[in-house]
Amino acid sequence: ISTGLLYLVTHSLLQFNHKYNTYDFNKKCYILKNIIKSCSLAYLCLFKLSPILYDAYIGHWNNHILYNFASIYVSNDIMGLLILPKLPTSTKFHHLTTSIMLFYSYTIDFTQENVGQLLFILVLFSSFSFIVNFYLGVRYLRNGNKIFSDWLNLIRLSAYYIYIVCCIVNWAIQTYILGHRFINSGLDWTYYIYISLLIPVITDDLVLIRWLREPPLPKIKHI
């Protein structure tokens, strides 16, 4: 419900932007989805991460807090599946994957050593890169103003470098933990399912990194 209200509020605010009003329903939803997702991820980073990271540092994982964190993270992806009529196939698969991971996470006891802790690390570094979704949304509000265009290009470059760092660190930690657990105790079936779901997510990350590196093109399939 709260995500739906965010769509209505953001849509009302963007009514003052002439460029936004020229787009069809699908493109408006695309813009709204990415701006709202960036705000949701920024909220998680600013107000939810500190207590979670402290708990993880002292070896205490609070299931209720982590379930809530994951729900906020994925809620916008679920909304995108419901309201965007022309969602690209690759993006649908990406959002379905995160949704499946969310519902599976509700069955996990994070206090135990399991795949849930890897899921949290994945969500953690995805949240750090909230500027990427912000750029994906606001780039369509470009109005020919040079100052605004220069500002967008700065956002794009910032998103590119932040995303690279987040992806590399995330992949390194995931690889280390998976390798360590494989050597010491082996991996059960949940880990292999997680790895199979992780592969298309990483592929999507690489596509987005390549796209951010160059000046923006008229269209992009990633949402």
For the chain, the DSSP string reads -HHHHHHHHHHHHHTT-HHHHTS-HHHHHHHHHHHHHHHHHHHIIIIIHHHHHHHHHTT---HHHHHHHHHHHHHHHHHHHHH-TT--HHHHHHHHHHHHHHHHHTT--TTSSSHHHHHHHHHHHHHHTHHHHHHHHHGGG--S-HHHHHHHHHHHHHHHHHHHHHHHHHHHHHHHHHHHHHHHT---HHHHHHHHHHHHHHHHHHHHHHHHHSPPPS-----
Average pLDDT of span 151-169 = 94
pTM above 0.95, yes or no: no
pLDDT, one tens digit per residue, over 15-28 is: 888 899 999 888 89
**The pLDDT value given to residue 221:** 42
| Whether residue 131 has pLDDT greater than 80 | yes
pLDDT, one tens digit per residue, over 27-74 is: 898 899 899 999 989 988 888 887 888 777 777 788 888 888 888 888
Higher pLDDT: 217 or 182? It is 182
